[in-house]
């Protein structure tokens, strides 16, 4: 259950939770990739939760789950991200997988992957988990109101692939292509003397 719950708490970075006046406790995730939402639906089933997926505006789909207890659990982690660091390695790894699946990207031309969030604290938690896994990251940067946690270099990206990996099929395909790409060698600059 730790694996599924950790993944879901990371994935909800791309979604929201709310409580209505009708006393409904709702978890929602919007996403272009229907396959990924179907995967989250399987995760919810492992947690004995029902959900539905429907098409919304444009190319987006929305997964919706009504659950008071799941809402309360996710709320606790959203209020205090540090609780994630007190959980076991399986939970932490799954949290990073879900977070990256929801808010990560793979650079096409250089050895770099990045995780984005409007919440700096969330990225500090991810960076701590990655550091504890032996994966070096760059500094957390702010650009246009969004924080970015980059991971540079083929060696670090290979460690990320081996120790964390992904479940989002499109992003996993891009990550695999990046890891399997031959190392790019920069041409040497000619020396001044000849």
Angle among Cα 65, 66, 68 to the nearest 5 degrees reads 125
Q: What predicted TM-score, i.e. pTM, was given to this entire model? A: 0.87
pLDDT digits (tens, 9 = 90+) for 43-91: 999 999 999 999 998 899 999 999 999 999 999 998 898 999 999 999 9
pLDDT at 185 over 70: no
pLDDT at 192: 55
User: What is the average pLDDT value for the chain, to the nearest integer?
Assistant: 89
Domain 2-180 belongs to what topology? Endonuclease I-creI (3.10.28)
Task: For residue 107, count CB atoms less than 10 angstroms from its CB and return exposed for 0-12, middle for 13-18, buried for 19 or more.
Answer: middle
pLDDT at 175: 78
Mean per-residue pLDDT, 7-27: 93
**33, 102, 6, 13 alpha-carbon torsion, rounded to 10°:** -120
pLDDT at 190 over 70: no
Mean per-residue pLDDT, 86-103: 93
pLDDT at 184: 53
pLDDT digits (tens, 9 = 90+) for 125-161: 999 999 999 999 999 999 999 999 999 988 888 898 8
* Nearest Cα to Cα of residue 11 among 125, 124, 145, 167: 167
pLDDT at 166 over 50: yes
Residues of the chain with pLDDT > 90, as a percent, come to 64
In DSSP terms, which residues pair with 45 in a beta bridge? none
């Amino acid at each position: 259950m730790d694996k599924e719950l950790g993944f879901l708490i990371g994935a909800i970075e791309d979604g929201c939770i709310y409580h209505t006046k009708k006393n409904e406790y709702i978890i929602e995730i919007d996403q272009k990739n229907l396959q990924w939402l179907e995967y989250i639906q399987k995760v919810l089933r492992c947690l004995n939760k029902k959900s539905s997926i429907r098409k919304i505006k444009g190319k987006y789909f929305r997964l919706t789950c009504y659950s008071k207890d799941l809402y309360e659990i996710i709320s606790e982690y959203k209020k205090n991200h540090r609780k994630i660091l007190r959980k076991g390695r399986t939970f932490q790894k799954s949290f990073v997988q879900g977070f990256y699946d929801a808010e990560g990207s793979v650079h096409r031309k250089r050895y770099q992957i990045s995780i984005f969030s409007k919440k700096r604290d969330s990225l500090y938690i991810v960076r701590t988990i990655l550091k504890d896994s032996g994966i070096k990251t760059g500094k957390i940067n702010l650009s246009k109101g969004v924080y970015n946690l980059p991971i540079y270099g083929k060696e670090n990206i290979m460690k990320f692939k081996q120790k964390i990996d992904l479940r989002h099929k499109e992003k996993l395909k891009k990550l695999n292509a990046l890891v399997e790409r031959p190392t790019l060698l920069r041409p040497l600059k000619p020396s001044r003397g000849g």
